[in-house]
Amino acid sequence: MRVTRFATAVSEIARNAIVHGGGGRISIYLDSRNEYLRVECRDDGPGIEDVTLAMTEGYTTAGGLGRGLGGAKRLSHGFDVRSAPGKGTTVSMSVKL
């Protein structure tokens, strides 16, 4: 069940990379002890000016429900966003297997 929810989170982050970042790259791998499935999604888009604000429930730049980043974080065990204006965005996330 938790991996299924995690797949939903990964799908949302991939969609964000396509819609906001113009596409991107996804890496999927297991940690060294096969305890966590890890995913990194990276794009070269315009970046996120204020990551804290973007993580706020209801915040949207595309007219959606504003649950994307925050929802993906809730469905993951580990979640990190690195971004800066003009530098693209990298989202790293994981789920315990």
Using pLDDT thresholds of 50, 70 and 90, give the confidence band for residue 54: confident
Whether the model pTM is above 0.85:
yes
The structural domain count of the chain equals 1
- 13/32 Cα distance (integer angstroms): 24
Say what the pLDDT of residue 65 is.
45
CATH number at residue 84: 3.30.565.10
Q: Is 85 helix (H, G, I), strand (E, B) or coil?
A: coil
Rounded to 5°, the CA angle 45-47-50 comes to: 160
Closest among 87, 97, 91 to 54, alpha carbons compared:
91
Say what the pLDDT of residue 60 is.
63
The strands making up 25-30's β-sheet, listed across from edge to edge, are 25-30, 36-43, 89-96, 78-83
State which residues form the domain around 81.
2-96
> Would you say residue 44 has pLDDT above 80?
yes
- 89/72 Cα distance (integer angstroms): 15
pLDDT 10s digits, 82-91:
999 999 999 9
